[in-house]
């Protein structure tokens, strides 16, 4: 498993749609392009919903793609 030092801190200013609480960064395992990474993803401290950042959802994480190319 790879540790990807990608911070989604900007999303901690986002509120959970269900609870209205600000999201907190939480280490989460993510499968991306066939590999498993540990990422700090913003999650709701109240209901545990993990927010998938736009960069991940749209596959625009250049850092991830770079790591995959390097292996
Ligand atoms: Zn919530």
Global pTM exceeds 0.85: no
Mean pLDDT of 40-62: 82
Cα atoms in the Cβ-side hemisphere of radius 13 Å centred on 5: 0
User: Could you tell me the distance, in angstroms and rounded to a whole number, from the CA of residue 7 to the centre of ligand 1?
Assistant: 20
User: Could you tell me the distance, in angstroms and rounded to a whole number, from the CA of residue 25 to the centre of ligand 1?
Assistant: 13
d(CA 42, CA 50): 6
For residue 25, the model assigns a pLDDT of 92
For residue 27, the model assigns a pLDDT of 87
Q: Where are the domains of the chain?
A: 2-70
Is residue 4's pLDDT more than 70? no
User: Could you tell me the distance, in angstroms and rounded to a whole number, from the CA of residue 30 to the centre of ligand 1?
Assistant: 20
Handedness of CA 63, 29, 3, 1 (dihedral sign): negative
User: Could you tell me the distance, in angstroms and rounded to a whole number, from the CA of residue 43 to the centre of ligand 1?
Assistant: 8
Is residue 60's pLDDT more than 70? no
CB-based contact 46:19 (threshold 8 Å): yes
Chain segment 16-41, per-residue pLDDT in tens? 999 999 999 988 887 777 888 888 88
CB-based contact 48:40 (threshold 8 Å): no
């Amino acid at each position: 498993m790879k540790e990807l030092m990608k911070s989604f801190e900007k999303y901690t200013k986002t509120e959970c749609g269900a609870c209205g609480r600000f999201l907190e960064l939480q280490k989460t395992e993510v499968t991306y392009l066939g590999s498993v990474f540990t990422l700090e993803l913003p999650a709701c401290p109240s209901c545990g919903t993990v927010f998938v950042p736009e960069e991940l959802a749209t596959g625009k994480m250049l850092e991830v793609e770079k790591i995959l190319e390097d292996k």
